[in-house]
Amino acid sequence: MEMAISFHNSSFKSPFINPNSNPKPKFLFPTQLSGLISSPLSSFNCKRTCLKFGSRTFTKPVKCSVSQAAQPAIEKRSQLKRRSDIRNIAIVAHVDHGKTTLVDAMLKQSKVNECGFYPLKSFIIVFRDNQFVQERVMDSNDLERERGITILSKNTSITYKDTKINIIDTPGHSDFGGEVERILNMVEGVLLVVDSVEGPMPQTRFVLKKALEFGHAVVVVVNKIDRPSARPDFVINSTFELFIELNASDEQCDFQAIYASGIKGKAGLSADNLAEDLGPLFESIIRCIPGPHIDKDGALQMLATNIEYDEHKGRIAIGRLHAGVLQKGMEVRVCTSEDSCRYARISELFVYEKFSKTPVERVEAGDICAVCGIEDIQIGETIADKAFGKPLPAIKVEEPTVKMAFSINTSPFVGREGKYVTSRNLRDRLYRELERNLAMKVEDGETADTFIVSGRGTLHITILIENMRREGYEFMVGPPKVINKKVADKLLEPYEIATVEVPEEHMGAVVELLGRRRGQMIDMQGVGAEGTTLLKYKIPTRGLLGLRNAILTASRGTAILNTIFDSYGPWAGDIVTRDQGSLVAFEDGSSTSYAIASSQERGQMFIGPGTEVYKGQIVGIHQRPGDLSLNVCKKKAATNVRSNKEQTVVLDTPLDYSLDDCIEYIQEDELVEVTPSSIRMCKNPKFAAAKKSR
């Protein structure tokens, strides 16, 4: 693989290129170019910045050819101008690479320097010395804090040297990729956060691919640089290779790299020379991310990229103003297409400042704002000028790959714990989810009380289930199934790229497990000095169902599994995802210690003594293939025939399965019963009736 290296100064003579010949120049990694760039190129197209941290003052060039990536757009739309006092950026990365922690550090810093560098005193939040600051302040959702992941994108803004920086924190998990795709419509550049040990991971590839397709400028942040096994050179080279694989332009490949420790709030232009704060990061954002293209005097245009709901204000549309000026009380046209428009009035207008919405009278093109007053606004619709407005292109996201069946609760315990139990309640809630979640689809099922919900992955749908459960809904869900396609009479199924980090001593068991699930190894390499191996597989999505628990069992809880959708491919054949059957209760009642003591010899139990059960409920895992019906409510006979004293019964600790575990566990003929207080599994009565009829 080769790459051309070009410089803007014609007087510069590259030592790698013979002027009398025209061969392709030698391919060089960014780290191999470091010595070359530091001296001769420092005077070419580089703005110098004086940074003062503590008692040290140094001058370092911030090189930003990447900001010229959008120049062709200026030629095509010469009437558009750059707005220099605003930067709109999204922070994107793989899950657990430190996006939200990095935003925390940006918000918490409040120190003012002598040379005019003030990271965040006039930023959004000024924290008092004695003020309690919650970790991951951007993860405001209870579910996000419990799981330690970002599920919904969040807006905030900071002010640095008279420039307002709108920051959008995005999810890192592949199942929420639709959220990232939407957000990229609002920004002109991204901070690509990469772990200093792991390097680019599957979701890194996905978000970078989308950012490059939009033509956005990219600043690469190598985060967690303080880790003992950090390998920054490898990470930068791997990221550079990823840019080339994704057909990035020469300007985009010439990205600015920043080394940072989000948890310590430090950043620098080299891995071994970090400043005392995030100064170099803010400088790079200002210099390398271009301002928004705007048509200030044009007709009003704003694309509704996100929707929020407030009990008092109703639906709130969030988006970037592309053209014109938006004012409070203004009458506008809301367009889905040129043929479908309606009129509305703006009741309130907000911009993001100080980590909250600040009411304003007007917003100019280029800024991100929140609009109230349009009750039926939908994501993807355009708020346009009443007389001359035209719709912007609609938002497109990738198709879902997994589906699950939702139905009303039919167990004997229906209505005991839930507030909303009817099919009408269930239908209204599911279709309401579509208003905000563009990557999800809902269809009516075979019966009036069944609905098919399709999403990007099992976690994507599980988060919806958990939210509905907390809202008071009671329902049942079936096992996840992949969405297949037929092309030219050939059955195609979705394939994903799975990466597994596992210690060497457990690698054999994990490789065997992935092989049984039709996985094909693509790559295997050592990671750091910790004796960890990184396995990369292409595997059918069917093979991933229930894989997470199986891999944790095979590796004794040490493996880390990450997946990302790759493409559709030929049907891989039958895959067995579970070797063991279920233990099923065959009568209603309350479980007893006497019955469980004998039942646990047949397998592992899900319940303890004193638990209410019903006929058909799954109470444990059978140690052999096939289901086994048990009586877990049997009581010891109360007779005086035996004179022996009571024997001490020793019971094993029951398995505590979460919602995710239950959904991974169930098979085709099983269901998960979801209520606000309980999660149970049961056999599907429709399959039992079908077996009896045979």
pLDDT tens-digit series, residues 344-375: 999 999 998 766 788 999 999 889 999 998 88
| Helical H segments across 109-222, by residue range | 142-147, 177-183, 202-213
pLDDT of residue 111: 36
Provide the token pair at 473. Answer: 């809904």
Using CA atoms, how far residue 562 sits from 500, 522, 537, 548, in Å, is: 6, 15, 10, 9
Higher pLDDT, 137 or 621: 621
- Please list the residues that pair with 523 across neighbouring strands: 536
The CATH classification of domain 582-635+649-666, taken from the options 2.60.40.1180, 3.40.190.10, 1.10.3210.10, 2.40.50.250: 2.40.50.250
pLDDT value at 420 more than 80 = yes
Segment 604-631 shows an average pLDDT of: 92
pLDDT value at 35 more than 80 = no
pLDDT value at 50 more than 60 = no
Q: Other CB atoms closer than 10 Å to residue 575's CB: what's the count?
A: 15
Segment 399-404 shows an average pLDDT of: 89
CATH 2.40.30.10 domain range(s) in the chain: 295-384
Q: What is the dihedral of CA 468, 470, 472, 477, to 10 degrees?
A: 40
pLDDT value at 631 more than 60 = yes
Segment 611-630 shows an average pLDDT of: 92
Higher pLDDT, 120 or 18: 18
pLDDT of residue 681: 94
pLDDT value at 141 more than 70 = no
pLDDT of residue 469: 92
Angle at 490 between CA 485 and CA 491, to 5 degrees: 40
73, amino acid identity: A
Q: Which CATH code for domain 487-570?
A: 3.30.70.240
pLDDT of residue 12: 37
pLDDT value at 27 more than 80 = no
**Predicted confidence band of residue 4 (pLDDT cuts 50, 70, 90):** very low
pLDDT value at 7 more than 60 = no
Higher pLDDT, 119 or 594: 594
**Predicted confidence band of residue 63 (pLDDT cuts 50, 70, 90):** low
Percent of the chain with pLDDT over 70: 79
Report pLDDT digits (tens) over 156-191. 888 888 888 888 888 877 777 777 888 888 899 999
Higher pLDDT, 332 or 546: 332
pTM of the model: 0.73
Of the candidate ranges 258-262, 408-412, 555-559, the one whose mean pLDDT is the lowest: 555-559
| β pairing state of 582-585 and 628-630 | parallel
Task: Give me the half-sphere count of Cα atoms (radius 13 Å) on the Cβ side of residue 261.
Answer: 17
Using CA atoms, how far residue 113 sits from 56, 104, 118, 277, in Å, is: 12, 20, 6, 11
pLDDT of residue 338: 64
Q: Are 158 and 91 in contact (CB under 8 A)?
A: no
Average pLDDT of the chain?
A: 79
The CATH classification of domain 295-384, taken from the options 2.40.30.10, 2.30.110.10, 3.20.20.60, 3.30.360.10: 2.40.30.10
Cα–Cα distance, 387 to 384 (Å, whole number): 9
pLDDT of residue 590: 92
Of the candidate ranges 19-23, 59-63, 615-619, 656-660, the one whose mean pLDDT is the lowest: 19-23
Q: Other CB atoms closer than 10 Å to residue 465's CB: what's the count?
A: 21
pLDDT of residue 62: 56
CATH 3.40.50.300 domain range(s) in the chain: 81-117+137-290
Cα–Cα distance, 358 to 351 (Å, whole number): 5
Residue 359 neighbours by CB under 8 Å, 6+ apart: 348, 349, 350
pLDDT value at 127 more than 50 = no
CATH 2.40.50.250 domain range(s) in the chain: 582-635+649-666
Of the candidate ranges 204-208, 270-274, 352-356, 484-488, the one whose mean pLDDT is the lowest: 352-356
- Interior/surface letters 278-317, b for 16+ CB within 10 angstroms, e for the rest: bbbbbbbbbbbbbbbbbbeebebbbbbbbbbeeeeeebbb
**Predicted confidence band of residue 14 (pLDDT cuts 50, 70, 90):** very low
Segment 605-632 shows an average pLDDT of: 92
pLDDT value at 51 more than 90 = no
pLDDT of residue 70: 41
Is CATH 3.90.79.10 correct for 81-117+137-290? no
Segment 23-40 shows an average pLDDT of: 41
pLDDT of residue 645: 55
Q: Is the dihedral of CA 234, 237, 242, 245 positive or negative?
A: negative
Report pLDDT digits (tens) over 543-573. 888 888 888 888 888 888 888 888 899 998 8
Cα–Cα distance, 441 to 268 (Å, whole number): 44
